[in-house]
Each structure stands twice: as C-alpha cells, then as structure tokens.
Chain A
Amino acid sequence: MSLLQVTGLTRRFGGLVAVNRLDFAVESGEILGLIGPNGAGKTTVFSLLTGFLRPDHGSIVFDGASLVSLSPHKICLRGMVRTFQNLKPFPKLTIRENVMVGALARTADRELSARHVAEALELMGLTNMADRMPNELPIGHLKMLEMAKALATKPRLLLLDEPYAGLTPAEGSHFGDLLLKIRNSGVTICLIEHVMRYVMALCHRIVVLHHGEKIAEGQAAAVANDPAVIKAYLGKAYAGS
C-alpha cells in the first residue's frame, strides 16, 4: 500500500480549476518530484494535502486513513508535514525555540522533545547557531531552519515546497546529500522543484503538472523526454524535435 494515495483531487477557485482530477501516489521510502511550469497548481496540491485548503472533490489517504476535512495541525500529527515556499521563521524566537514549537506539538515530554530538536538541528547543521535569532542568519540557513522545524515534528512524509530556491549552487548540492540522509533515516519525501537538474539527480519518480492536470509521471529520464512535458515547459515548437 502506498504511504499517500491521492485520487481524483480537484479544487476550483471561482472559474479557474487549479487542480483537476489529480491521481498520484507516494511510496514509502522514495523521493518523489512534483514539477510543472509556474501556475501549474503544485503549491495548491500541497495546501490541499495538508488541510490548508479543502478539496472540492477527491480523496487523500495517508497511511490508510482519509485526511480530507482534517485541520492542518491534525494532519501534521498524523505524520505529514509541509514547508512553505516563502520562509516562515518565528522572528522573535531563537533558532532552537523555533524548532521547539513543532517538537512540543508532537510530544509534551520535555526530554524527548529536546532530543528531537537537538537531532533536527544537528542534521541541518544549525547546532552552533541554535541560540541566535532568525534575523541574524543568511537565507541558506533559514531554509535549513524550515527543514529542521518540520523534521522536529517527527514526520513520516515530508512535503518540501521549492527547497532549493534561494540556495547557491554549492549549497544546492550539499542540500541534495542532506535530503538523501533524511530519506535514509526513514522519512519519505515529496518535493516541488523548478530546477530540473536537482530533480533529475535526486528523485526516483516525477509527477508533472500542467494547468492543474497530471500530464506525465514516471522515471526522471523518461519524463524529461516526454513530448507533452517539453511542450508544457518550452512551447509547442520544441515538442517535435
């Protein structure tokens, strides 16, 4: 059974169909890429999955249980957590306190939550700046902070919304190693990304969205050569060549 099974997911905003009858699954232990041109509905899908938006139709089954109509915090506690495309640190809390929020939402046990925080900080390389404030950190570290906050909730499925955006190329390749490390620690990952190079290198499978619909799905190389995908990204003229 898939860890996450999405069937017929549909969401309209007025006359615009942002997500249209979308089916896809995330298998336990994989890194799945969700790609597509701007406005394809990728972030909307994440918001639907995590309860920030209600779907008009369709089902979302996580670990055998339906998530539709659950509020975001309950979905997080079920084991699926998202990060946001725009950074959302809590500016008046230190780095450690930022990470503490999710850890304490998971467990009231202080020693256990402190251990979760320490692990998350360590993994994301933030341990030696744990008592600094977010506004003292460069953007690359703030991206790591978002990851650490999410990891401290002890998720089984991590939804990352453009985690590479804003990272330098050097930071980017290091980040890929980090994602593999996180995956190897038993956390399944689904990520939205624009930079094809990273997606190709990292993801086992890719789902391509365009105008809210799935236009391709499969192994990275196959998807990249799919005429429908090339057309969606580059325009009709390139699709045949």
Chain B
Amino acid sequence: MRKLVLALLVVIALAIYPLVVTNHFFLHLSIMALMYALLGMSWNLLGGYTGQISFGHAAFFGTGAYTSTILLLRYGISPWLGMLVGAVFAVLLSLPLGWLTFRLRGPYFALSTLAFAEVVRVIVYNWDSLTGGGDGLNILADLGGIVRFYYIILTLTVAGVLVMRGCVRSRWGYFLNAIREDEDAAEALGVPATRMKLIVLAISAFFVALAGSFFASYQLYINPDLVYESQISIQMIVVTIVGGIGTLEGPVVGALVIVPLSEYFRGLSPVANPLIYGLFIVIFMMFLPEGIVSRIRSLLGRRAPAVAEEHKQVGAGV
C-alpha cells in the first residue's frame, strides 16, 4: 500500500514536472532518461529476470524507428499507428532468433544477439531504396513540441512499468526466476522454459521498438548509426546494472543516474567523454556491483522480492 502511494506520487510529480521546469535542455534530459528507463526495463525482463543476456537489443530499437518513419514518409501513416506496426515487426524479428537459439543451453543466445543486431544494421545500411542507406531519413513534419513528447514517453514508460510488473508478479515471475537459476530444474518441474523465454523476448522487443519509434519521431532524423548502434544495446545494460538488475525499480533509477551523467560528460568534453564515462562505470561496478536499488534494499535489511508478494501471503496463510 505504501509502495502504491509512493509510486502514484512519483508519477504525479513526473506529470507536473514539465509545467514547472521549462528549460529545454532539462526537458530533453528527462525525455532521454525516461526513454532509457523504458529500454532498460524491457531489457531487464529478459536479461535480469530470465537470465537471457542480449547484446543486440538495438536491432529492435532501430526496427521500431525505421518502421514508423518509413510508414510515415512513404505512406503518410500516422506515427502512432507506425509505432504499433514497428513493435509488431520487432516481435516478428525476435521470434526466429529466439526459436533458433533458446533450445540450446549456454551462451548461444547472447552470442547470436550480437551477430543478429549487426546483420540487421548492415541490411538497413545497404537497402538504400527503402531506408535511405547511410544518409538516413529526415522527417520533414512538425510532430509536436517537446512537452508533448515528454508526456508521450512518460505514458509509454508507465505502461512499460505496469506490463513488466504484471509479468513478474504473476506466476510467470516464479517461472522466469526458475529458468534463470536452473533451466533444467525448471523444465523438470513443468515450467515451459523455451516458450516462456520466447514470450519474454517478444514483450521485450515490443517495448524496445516502441521506444525506437518514439525516438525517431522525437529526433526527426534517423540513420543506421544512430538507431542500430551497439552503444544503445550497451546503454540499456548499463542502466539496468547500475540501477539494480532483476528489480522493477532498478532500470528507472539507473536511467535517472546514468543518462544525465553521460550527457553531462559529453558536454564537458566530447573527446574525453567515453573515457570519463567508462571510468565512472568501472568505479561504479567496483563499489556498487549489485546496483543502487539492491544496495538500498540490503541497507534497509530487506531482501529483493524475487517474486510476487501477494503470492507469498496466500502461501503463508494456508
């Protein structure tokens, strides 16, 4: 109950925020932070909860971005619809990848995501007639002001939180944990491990693609290096790990810390930025390897709820 009140207060504060803060740069920072919160939590459902580490989620981000942009530029289809189509495309792209690699135990999924993202990027790069190749695509339309985009990404992120929460607080939460900890043991107990991994991958790809479409409409320009860049995949992972992998709040907290920092360092010195940023990540991993959220929890003497609290209460009551 207290958590619900707290969550509502945070959402209300975030909703009022652009009415108070009108500085363009701060609004931009907040938009990017919210977007990376959404990306991080999508990655986290698959990587953190289910233990399937992906290094190629940029493929879904880029696919979302390109699908809605191409639909808008070529067919005049509204980015709202384009966003959904892009997300469905990303899901369709994710399923063969998972189908091929999830039956195998071991690091095959992680390795193939890396190759997969690169293959998709190269295809987009070379399919000039459709994607504009390396020149990218310009959206020459006014899709709204920055405050409008702030509310769009806030809505998407809140929707993401609710969906992720629904997944991990249902009986799926137990299944995903069990798959991550010991897939054979989970299978032996009746958990459909391959199917669960495919479902979670699809949900993850769906939300990452939504964020990609959003990004394209917000930036009004995309090219393969911008939206298929491996840096995007890595940033999702960094945000999640810094905040707390396998927790609901982790990616949100991580994004709020990491995105402003990386923007700040970039402003400080474009050349030294990767260096300083990298150094910061190393220091962080040395002193807070379990992530901010998990550290706060352990300081408060609480175990991260691996799964549903309501389940526990039902179980304890019998």
- A residues with CB within 8 A of B: 50, 52, 71-74, 76-77, 81-84, 88, 90-94, 96-97, 100-102, 104-106, 108, 110-111, 113-115, 117-118, 130-131, 133, 149-150, 152-153
Q: Which chain B residues in 128-178 approach chain A with CB under 8 Å?
A: 171, 174-175, 177-178
Residue B234 at the A interface, CB < 8 A? no
- Contact between chains at A82 and B311 (CB < 8 Å): no
**A61 → chain B closest CB, angstroms:** 20
**B175 → chain A closest CB, angstroms:** 7
- Contact between chains at A105 and B312 (CB < 8 Å): no
Cα distance A202–B312 when bound, in Å? 36
- Contact between chains at A90 and B311 (CB < 8 Å): no
Query: Residue on B with the closest CB to A105?
Result: B190
Residues of B within 8 A of A114 (CB): 311, 314-315, 317-318
Give the contacting residue for A153; candidates B178, B189, B193, B315; CB below 8 A: B189
Cα distance A88–B188 when bound, in Å? 11
Per-position 1/0 for B298-316, Cβ under 8 A of A: 0000010011000110111
Give the contacting residue for A93; candidates B306, B314, B316; CB below 8 A: B306
**B291 → chain A closest CB, angstroms:** 14
Cα distance A106–B318 when bound, in Å? 18
**B267 → chain A closest CB, angstroms:** 40
* Contact sample, A vs B, 8 pairs, CB 8 Å cutoff: A73-B193, A90-B177, A92-B177, A93-B174, A93-B181, A105-B191, A152-B189, A153-B190
Give the contacting residue for A150; candidates B189, B191, B193, B315; CB below 8 A: B189
- Contact between chains at A104 and B177 (CB < 8 Å): no
- Contact between chains at B315 and A100 (CB < 8 Å): yes
Residues of A within 8 A of B225 (CB): none
6 closest Cβ contacts across the A-B interface?
A105-B190, A102-B189, A76-B190, A88-B185, A90-B181, A104-B171
**A87 → chain B closest CB, angstroms:** 9
Residues of A within 8 A of B190 (CB): 73, 76-77, 81, 102, 105-106, 153
- Contact between chains at B315 and A117 (CB < 8 Å): yes
**B197 → chain A closest CB, angstroms:** 12
Residues of B within 8 A of A52 (CB): 184, 187-188
- Contact between chains at A96 and B312 (CB < 8 Å): yes
Interface centre among A105, A130, A149 (most CB of B within 10 A): A105
Residues of B within 8 A of A73 (CB): 187-193
Cα distance A92–B190 when bound, in Å? 19
- Contact between chains at B189 and A110 (CB < 8 Å): no
Residues of A within 8 A of B317 (CB): 114
**B318 → chain A closest CB, angstroms:** 5
Residues of A within 8 A of B189 (CB): 73, 76, 81, 101-102, 105, 149-150, 152-153
Residues of B within 8 A of A81 (CB): 188-190
Known: A73-B188, A93-B181. 15 other contacts (CB 8 A): A50-B188, A73-B191, A76-B187, A76-B190, A81-B188, A90-B181, A90-B182, A91-B181, A102-B190, A102-B191, A106-B190, A111-B314, A114-B318, A153-B189, A153-B190
Cα distance A74–B191 when bound, in Å? 8
Q: Which chain B residues in 19-58 approach chain A with CB under 8 Å?
A: none
Residues of B within 8 A of A111 (CB): 314, 318
Residue B93 at the A interface, CB < 8 A? no
Query: Residue on A with the closest CB to B194?
Result: A71
Cα distance A93–B307 when bound, in Å? 8
Cα distance A42–B102 when bound, in Å? 28
Residues of B within 8 A of A108 (CB): 171
Query: Residue on A with the closest CB to B307?
Result: A97
- Contact between chains at B191 and A101 (CB < 8 Å): yes
Residues of A within 8 A of B191 (CB): 73, 101-102, 105
- Contact between chains at A97 and B175 (CB < 8 Å): no
Residue B257 at the A interface, CB < 8 A? no
- Contact between chains at B186 and A118 (CB < 8 Å): no
**B298 → chain A closest CB, angstroms:** 13
**A165 → chain B closest CB, angstroms:** 17
Cα distance A108–B314 when bound, in Å? 13
Give the contacting residue for A97; candidates B174, B182, B184, B314; CB below 8 A: B174
**A82 → chain B closest CB, angstroms:** 6
